[in-house]
Structure 1
Amino acid sequence: MKILQLEYFIEIVNQNSFTKAARTLHISQPSLTATIKKMEAQLGYPLLKRTTKDISITEKGIQFYKHAKTLVHQYHQTMEQLYDLKLSQTPKIKLSIIESTAHWISTVIKAHNLENPDQHYQITEILDLNTLTQKLLDFEIHFGISNDKIKHEGITSIPLYNEDYVVLTPKDEYQNHTSVSIKHLPLIVPIKPYQVRMHIDDYFTHLQARPNIVMEVERFEVATNFVHQRMGYAVIPRIYYQSFKTNHLNAIQIRPKIERTIYINFAKKRQFSPQMTALLDQIQHFWRFKKH
């Protein structure tokens, strides 16, 4: 069975129509129908139920669809990586970040690119520590920034800087306060199992208190919007607030404070190009300079 056949089947399911799928794939409908029938004959079970009006997918067809999507995705990902090797002697640097680091990492990459104008980059956002660890070990990314240390024998985890969390409030509230307790405040927090949420949950566990959570969101940007609407108070990293000066909002120190450490991580067994090593050095130098 060929990748092209899998792509045909996926398109039929996505479009829920042989006619629409054939139009998208630029082949004739009879040819597409024949391909699916041939696949079903090879497999020994039906993938689709056809009527004069519509189609539906069988239970085995659903499982086949899931596997087919995975295989097609892996195929295209592999071909892209192989093409990258042919295209350039300097393959793209793949870096995962967390939302609060987007501002300063763009500054570092810009400086790196000025010295390496032919270098390409791929920036993704990975918030789950287990996912980040696996992608580093599978060599899918070169570097990953995290807000906790990765404790794995195959990963080098280097601390970059420490930062505290602040509570984001409307501009006209807590104006004369240098710090505030968040024990009883209506809070807007990240969803589980993100590391920031774990930090907040651990903080309240240590205080032997229960947080008053009124909303759970995925991104600090979304939380900020709801603070504007006065629907609660957001707990965010200080550097996020400093990097994205938010009009009409204040960032107040939390009492007692919550802190975290930001790390740069990479697989120990991975061999880096000079450009990759230079980027790692520049990231570390940026924060050594900031500390002083």
Structure 2
Amino acid sequence: MNFLSLRYFIEVSNHLSFSKASKVLHISQPGLSQQISSLEKQLGFKLLNRTTRKITLTEEGEYIYKKLAPSFDDIEKTVSNIVENKIVPKPKIKIATIPSAASIYIPNLLKKIRIEFPEVEVDLQETTSARAVKLVKQQKYQIGFIRTPIHANILTNEGLNMIEFNKSPLQLVVSFEHRLAQKESIHLTEVKNEPFIHYHAVQAHSLQFLLEKACSIAGFSPKKLCEGSELLTIANLVSNNLGVALMPKDMIDLLGAKKVKALNIKNMNLSSSISAVWKSSEHTPFLINQIIHTLQSNASL
């Protein structure tokens, strides 16, 4: 396949004019026409309808033009950028992550990237699970770290792959001033009349689902103080004894010296985990494949 003749076809299609295309390409009109005819002969079908008055694309020509034109634009922009800046851009990986994963998993991952791929730039975006999934599906970011959804098969059906990391038990978080703060474990019914800090039903769906499920198992519907998505905001509300919260242990461990107490929940075995997601593709870039391999072989980074 003569790729130069494809480039000529793209330019003729841009202008629907051999004369305009020939000026842009710095080639004679007869030479340009000959290149297009040769391409049509090689393909076995016509690309252009030519009359003395105008040029139009055939159905096949329209299809090829729409498929190939963006690719040729990208090639030209890439070459122009290198020529203009006299430098090859550094490879970049874009990661969208929830804050807890940014603290738990990202540091070790970045250490590995710096050792194995020191030339790589990393664009790290802290966001919600819902937003991270959207960014990866739109291919604006290559990898997302999210709270594992309750129905993980939904992500598979939407063309995403997933690696789930360690599960973390659900615990009750109270203020040190709370009446239960001296205990190490409780029955969840002991706080059925307490106000709970809820999670956003869309932005933190899996955590809100666990909150509602835990309370349902305990036989009550949780009262709502407010909705929160930021870990430190929830911790501050709890530390001021304004309400209680249910959190996975991995989130609680990030609070450090905050004035909250984590209590185990008796007769309940609910947990949450963090997962890495990426877009399924037959042509995943080498760098992304290597990072995915690292995540797969070190599921407890």
Give the TM-score range, shorter chain: 0.5 to 0.7
Indicate the SS of the match to 1:100.
helix
The C-alpha deviation readout for 1:255-287, integer Å capped at 9, x for no partner, is 424312322111111633333223223333443
Q: How does 1:242-281 map to 2 (within 5 A)?
A: 242-255=253-266, 256-269=268-281, 271-281=283-293
Structure 1 position 171 matched with structure 2 position 176: yes
Structure 2 spans left out of the alignment, 5+ residues:
1-73
Which residue of 1 is the match for residue 299 of structure 2? 287
The C-alpha deviation readout for 1:5-39, integer Å capped at 9, x for no partner, is xxxxxxxxxxxxxxxxxxxxxxxxxxxxxxxxxxx
Which residue of 2 is the match for residue 231 of structure 1? 242
Contact 1:189 1:223 in 2 (8 A): no
Contact 1:220 1:236 in 2 (8 A): no
Structure 1 position 122 matched with structure 2 position 129: no
Which residue of 2 is the match for residue 188 of structure 1? 197
Distance in 2 between the 1:176 and 1:168 partners? 12
Distance in 2 between the 1:219 and 1:159 partners? 22
Structure 1 position 157 matched with structure 2 position 162: yes
The share of aligned pairs that are identical, in percent, is 15
Contact 1:180 1:252 in 2 (8 A): no
Which residue of 1 is the match for residue 137 of structure 2? 137
Indicate the SS of the match to 1:122.
strand
Contact 1:156 1:268 in 2 (8 A): yes
Indicate the SS of the match to 1:287.
coil
Q: Which has the larger radius of gyration?
A: 2
Structure 1 spans left out of the alignment, 5+ residues:
1-77
| Letter of the 1:222 counterpart | T
TM-score, normalising length from structure 2? 0.60
Distance 1:224 1:283, change over 3 A: same
Distance 1:133 1:226, change over 3 A: closer
CA-CA distance at 1:184 after TM superposition: 3.1
Distance in 1 between the 2:120 and 2:165 partners? 24
Contact 1:139 1:270 in 2 (8 A): no
TM-score, normalising length from structure 1? 0.62
CA-CA distance at 1:222 after TM superposition: 0.4
Contact 1:160 1:284 in 2 (8 A): no
Aligned residues: 208
Distance 1:244 1:118, change over 3 A: farther
Q: How does 1:66-81 map to 2 (within 5 A)?
A: none
The C-alpha deviation readout for 1:98-134, integer Å capped at 9, x for no partner, is 12212121232123213322211111234243x4444
Moved more, 200-209 or 119-128: 200-209
| Letter of the 1:213 counterpart | K
| Letter of the 1:259 counterpart | S
Contact 2:196 2:226 in 1 (8 A): yes
Distance 1:207 1:265, change over 3 A: same
Indicate the SS of the match to 1:158.
strand
Distance in 2 between the 1:206 and 1:214 partners? 20
CA-CA distance at 1:89 after TM superposition: 5.7
| Letter of the 2:128 counterpart | L
RMSD between aligned residues? 2.9
Contact 1:190 1:219 in 2 (8 A): no
The C-alpha deviation readout for 1:34-89, integer Å capped at 9, x for no partner, is xxxxxxxxxxxxxxxxxxxxxxxxxxxxxxxxxxxxxxxxxxxx9xx979x85646
| Letter of the 2:118 counterpart | P
- Residue 222 (structure 1) aligned to one of 215, 233, 253: 233
Contact 1:100 1:240 in 2 (8 A): yes
